[in-house]
Amino acid sequence: MGKTDLQLSRRLSYLLRHAPQEAGLTLESGGWVRVEKLLAGLRAGGLNVGRGELEAVVAESDKQRFAFDDTGERVRANQGHSVPVDLELVPQTPPDLLYHGTTRQFTAVIFTDGLKKMTRHHVHLSPDPETAARVGARRGRPVILRVDAGAMQQAGHLFYRSENGVWLSDHVPPEYLSILPG
Ligand code: HQG
């Protein structure tokens, strides 16, 4: 991604997840905004981009953060919102094991309180330890937690899968967590 693409990607994350009102946008149910309104909002904020550049960033975003709807007329952030939004996620059966990357400073409290959403809408879980390691490494030396998702689901906890492969849940109680040796 070039410098301007990165700038556009960061601005899209900010507007579509955290501050749509700053560009005069309102998220529709599902988190969608109309492409022409988004482009107008970006231009008003000094980012003069067209549909082609938007399409390139949506296609190239390393974590598939954004998506167009089936008509191509609306775009949204797939997850990661801090503004209230109904992403219309449908519960799905998770794999038996999921993973969460964090760092040592948080592990003691996590084994007391479980994994909490913090500022996000859900707890984010990774499908494999490698991805969890990358997530944890954002904050320092990663600690990888194994989540007994199969047992959680049997106990009635709901799981959702974001379009980019991230698994989401409301809360992971500590009894379903263990540290992945490594
Ligand atoms: C920790 C990025 C204290 C949790 C990544 C994490 C991911 C607790 C931090 C996505 C806790 C929250 C999500 C508790 C959890 N007490 N700390 N009870 N429970 N924590 O960023 O999972 O760039 O909100 O371990 O790639 O790190 O946004 O969540 O360290 O996919 O697209 O509190 O964000 O993607 O941090 O990352 P975050 P996360 P994007």
pLDDT tens per residue across span 72-129? 999 999 988 989 898 888 899 999 999 999 999 999 999 999 999 998 889 999 999 9
Query: Look-up: residue for tokens 């709807």?
Result: 69
Q: What is the pLDDT of residues 128-157, one digit of tens each?
A: 999 999 999 999 999 999 999 999 999 999
What pTM, to 2 d.p., does this model score?
A: 0.82
Atom of ligand 1 lying closest to residue 113 CA: 18
CB 18 less than 6 A from any atom of ligand 1: no
CB 104 less than 6 A from any atom of ligand 1: no
Question: Is pLDDT at 3 greater than 80 in this prediction?
Answer: no
**If you average pLDDT over residues 67-72, what whole number do you get?**
95
Amino acid at 158: L
**If you average pLDDT over residues 49-62, what whole number do you get?**
92
97: its two tokens:
């094991």
CATH code of residue 47? 1.10.10.970
Spacing, Cα 124 to ligand 1 middle (Å): 7
The answer to whether residue 116 sits within a structural domain is yes
Q: Which domain holds residue 39?
A: 3-77
Based on the domain organization, do 54 and 111 belong to the same domain?
no
Question: Is pLDDT at 1 greater than 80 in this prediction?
Answer: no
Based on the domain organization, do 101 and 175 belong to the same domain?
yes
The answer to whether residue 91 sits within a structural domain is no
Query: Percent of the chain beyond pLDDT 90?
Result: 84
Q: How far apart are CA 114 and CA 108, in angstroms?
A: 10
Spacing, Cα 135 to ligand 1 middle (Å): 8
CATH code of residue 170? 3.20.170.30
Based on the domain organization, do 24 and 73 belong to the same domain?
yes
Question: Is pLDDT at 63 greater than 90 in this prediction?
Answer: no
Question: Is pLDDT at 160 greater than 70 in this prediction?
Answer: yes
67: its two tokens:
């998506």
Residue ending a domain, choose from 47, 77, 107: 77
Q: Are 168 and 79 in contact (CB under 8 A)?
A: yes
